[in-house]
Structure 1
Amino acid sequence: MEIKTLSPFITNVTYWIDNGTVNAEMQITHTLNYGLRNYIDLQIRLADSKKYQSLFSYDIDLCKLLNEFFRESLLKTWYRNLLKYSNLMENCPIMEGFYYIRKYKMAPGTLPPYLRPGDYRLSALSFFGRRNTKKFRPFSDFITYLTIF
């Protein structure tokens, strides 16, 4: 797992794996108002290669996703499960403060059947503005490697 903080708004990021569960801590130093976006890309490693191929990607408005929380989607199913193990916000704005994830594990039945056994890379880039423009302001970059058996 790799996390890069690209903004002074997020500090003291730590993360660790313990008995197959994910744990993380971070300090948000300023209230994060509307406009925070996430680019999420799930990739599968090609057989006998070090290269990955994208399966799907989302460019989402995080506040819109949180505020429309009850509309069904794969991301909402995953986030709803994540909330059981954390004190992450359920809506915007995201207030300054200490946030954590403790002993997170995927809930049974939340992996779509098209995700075959294999090695995966999940990338999540958080930012303000628009990617590939002068208004782009990166916030954090998260990459994790997963194996599905």
Structure 2
Amino acid sequence: MKFTKIEVTGDSSYISNVTYWIDNGTANADMYVKRTLNYGLRVFVDLQMKLADSKKYQSLFSYDVDVCKLLNEFFRESLLRSWYRNLLKYSNFMENCPIMEGFYYIRKLALEPNSIPPYLRSGDYRLCCTAYYGKRNSKKQRSVSNLTAYMQILS
């Protein structure tokens, strides 16, 4: 698996100085969290596969999770936890809540083969993640950040 493109945006009242880049198929990023991200932070994750001979993507599965609950139940097995454990190996991200103000980074992130479910066949994928407070897709949603990562799974 390799990353081919990354796009990150964020609300400047929460996150600043965001930079990101691809290096030999690995993902890298720097960002500064300007204020503590407290309980109630949620993330919507949508994994999509590019349809053959098309520019369109089809959603394979999506999760909408409470970030603090995910971190606090860190040792219970799920695909998201497996991906987050993988992310922790390449970053200084928090392992618990709240997520404190400060500088965070990712260096040379690559998904390890055992964190890729066997049913994901070779192809182009897009991972869309939105961190937010409130109720998703409503006027009460306050977006914190958006990440879109384009990846290729190679056989």
Determine if the alignment matches structure 1 residue 131 to structure 2 residue 128: no
Indicate the SS of the match to 1:89: coil
The equivalent of 2:17 in structure 1 is: 12
The correspondence of residues 26-105 of structure 1 with structure 2, limited to 5 A, is 26-105=31-110
The equivalent of 2:145 in structure 1 is: 140
Q: Normalising by the residue count of structure 1, what TM-score does the alignment of the two structures yield?
A: 0.97
Indicate the SS of the match to 2:71: helix
Displacement of 1:133: 2.0
Counterpart AA for 1:75: L
Q: Deviations over 1:33-75 (max 9, x none)?
A: 1011000000011111111110000000011100110000011
User: Matches of 1:3 and 1:86 in 2, distance apart?
Assistant: 16
User: Matches of 1:4 and 1:49 in 2, distance apart?
Assistant: 26
Contact 1:7 1:138 in 2 (8 A): no
User: Matches of 2:137 and 2:107 in 1, distance apart?
Assistant: 34
Indicate the SS of the match to 1:132: coil
Q: Normalising by the residue count of structure 2, what TM-score does the alignment of the two structures yield?
A: 0.93
Gaps of 5+ in 2: 1-5
Q: Quick one: percent identity of the two aligned structures? A: 66
Contact 1:23 1:101 in 2 (8 A): yes
Counterpart AA for 2:129: A
Counterpart AA for 1:51: K
Q: Work out the number of aligned pairs and report it.
A: 149
User: Matches of 1:53 and 1:93 in 2, distance apart?
Assistant: 33
Gaps of 5+ in 1: none
Displacement of 1:7: 4.1
Indicate the SS of the match to 1:64: helix
Displacement of 1:9: 0.9
Contact 1:121 1:143 in 2 (8 A): yes
Runs of 4+ in 1 over 6 A off after TM superposition: none
